[in-house]
Structure 1
Amino acid sequence: MASINADNSNESQQQYEQVMNRAKYFLPLYLLVPVMFWLVFHYSGTAMEWKAFGLGALGWVIAFFLRGPLSAIVMKMPKEKATTIIVASSGVFEECVRIAVLLLTSLTFSWSLSIGQGWAAIEVLFVIINLIVMISLSTRTDEKSIQAKEMLQMQGNMNAHPVWGVIERIFASAFHIGCTLLVSKYPWLVVLLIPLHSFVNLSAIKLSKQSMVQTELLIAVFGIITLAVGILVFQ
């Protein structure tokens, strides 16, 4: 039995190292995601308002840290249950902070578009930092490294190709920008966007354990529709 456990541990370690070794080559592609959105909107006639971009990034950071107390409360729960609660809370914290930032500043199209891009960009940066940390842990067997591997296994991402992460950032960014536009045009939509945001995140985590194709298709559908409708309501 001990031999079997050791073999499983070694196999898990090898899988983790392979995933992380591939992932490091895709880090530059993550950086291109916010640049791509900036270029598309810039050349379509809407210049970036960098102050709004910064406020969007700040808003995401605030929403992230607001989840801290909740994370502390659920940390003693079973990991899967705790993850579900934290992910489900994402809609509440992010959409409430998003609408607050908009209402306290401006609701114009270019301003809202820039806030959305800043919001999406800082999330991409967070993913990049997470990847760098996980890559640094890939050859280690200490407690933090083991926890990182367990997290990947729980999410069903141990064998996923890193390109899926880049694709996810594209459509997740579209979703964030779209949500920002929608709620800036119709602030009351925050009531609908809160459960929608949480639903998308929870569904993505559940699907990722079964199929990355289905996961990215889900995020793509919601991302494209949300962004398209967000732009259309300002026309």
Structure 2
Amino acid sequence: MDETPPVPLPPAVPVHLILSPLAVALAVAALGPAPHLTALAVGAAGWLAAMVLRAPVALAGRAAGLAPERLGLVLLLASGPVEEACRLAALWLWGGDLRTALWLGLGWALGEALALFVGGLVSGRVLRSPGDQGDKARAHLAAQGKAAAAHPAWGGLERLSVTGLHVGLSLWIAWNPWLAVPAALAHTAVNAAAATVMKRTGRMALTEAAVAVPSAAVLAVGLVLALALS
């Protein structure tokens, strides 16, 4: 009788997913502009709104009979435009000064990390459950190969890179709303690079580099633009 080979299970409590953006937010609170809790909450809500707005794209793709791989590509291409449109709207409604943009970007990163944390809690519980549901979940995890066996530290590094990306893009749009267009392209490019590198190489180090390097560049440009907002 064939058995699903054992794979390392992710942490039952994936705290590593929220430590990076939380640490950055605490560092900014201590060393940078005073905390802007409204902007923080608006950022988290903006990320959630972008997730909700992607749902019609997924539904339309399924209704059109797109294969899962093609649907995934459509959702990836839509991710940047939808998210940056929401970020533009949030900054337009709540102000585009340096402090607001900075804390809105941090809230965006924290909102995404919190959603991943909750999802990790749920999936971790399912993976550890007995019976058919747990067996199917573990088999699906095994099918993911190296990505499934990745050390949690890689997830923490990714969250750190993504935090820089969200802060940088918020600063871009705060400096000039028209930069929402290149921001959308940059955001989609980072997502596409990570997905492509992981699919072709299966190596977490290269995949995280594909996120970290452009995210750092986006943040660096954002910080230069922030000088004009300060």
Scaled to the shorter chain, the TM-score interval is 0.7 to 0.9
Q: Is residue 2:195 matched to residue 1:217?
A: no
**For residues 180 and 80 of structure 1, what CA distance do their matches in structure 2 show?**
30
Residue among 36, 42, 56 paired with 2:43: 56
Residue among 135, 159, 165 paired with 1:169: 159
**1:129–1:43 Cα change, 3 Å:** same
**For residues 124 and 68 of structure 1, what CA distance do their matches in structure 2 show?**
19
- 8 Å contact 1:19–1:160 — kept in the other structure? no
Which amino acid in structure 2 is aligned with residue 208 of structure 1?
M
**1:148–1:123 Cα change, 3 Å:** farther
CA deviation map 1:148-178 (0-9, x unaligned) = 8547845851222221111100101110111
Q: Is residue 2:91 matched to residue 1:102?
A: yes
Q: Is residue 2:189 matched to residue 1:202?
A: no
TM-score (norm 2): 0.87
Partner residue in 1 for 2:58? 71
**For residues 136 and 66 of structure 1, what CA distance do their matches in structure 2 show?**
28
Partner residue in 2 for 1:137? 126
Residue among 35, 43, 47 paired with 2:30: 43
Partner residue in 2 for 1:229? 221
- 8 Å contact 2:141–2:148 — kept in the other structure? no
Which amino acid in structure 2 is aligned with residue 24 of structure 1?
A
Which amino acid in structure 1 is aligned with residue 209 of structure 2?
L
Partner residue in 2 for 1:190? 180
- 8 Å contact 2:18–2:113 — kept in the other structure? yes
**1:102–1:153 Cα change, 3 Å:** farther
Stretches of structure 2 that go unaligned for 5 or more consecutive residues are none
How far the C-alpha of 1:144 sits from its partner, in A, is: 8.6
Stretches of structure 1 that go unaligned for 5 or more consecutive residues are none
**For residues 182 and 189 of structure 1, what CA distance do their matches in structure 2 show?**
6
CA deviation map 1:116-135 (0-9, x unaligned) = 01101000001111211211
Superposition RMSD in Å: 2.2
CA deviation map 1:182-211 (0-9, x unaligned) = 111021111111121111112211212321
**1:126–1:172 Cα change, 3 Å:** same
**For residues 41 and 153 of structure 1, what CA distance do their matches in structure 2 show?**
40
Further displaced range: 131-140 or 143-152:
143-152
**1:88–1:149 Cα change, 3 Å:** farther
Partner residue in 2 for 1:24? 12
How many residues in Structure 1 have an aligned counterpart in Structure 2?
Answer: 222
Which amino acid in structure 2 is aligned with residue 225 of structure 1?
A
**1:145–1:169 Cα change, 3 Å:** farther
**For residues 208 and 70 of structure 1, what CA distance do their matches in structure 2 show?**
24
TM-score (norm 1): 0.86
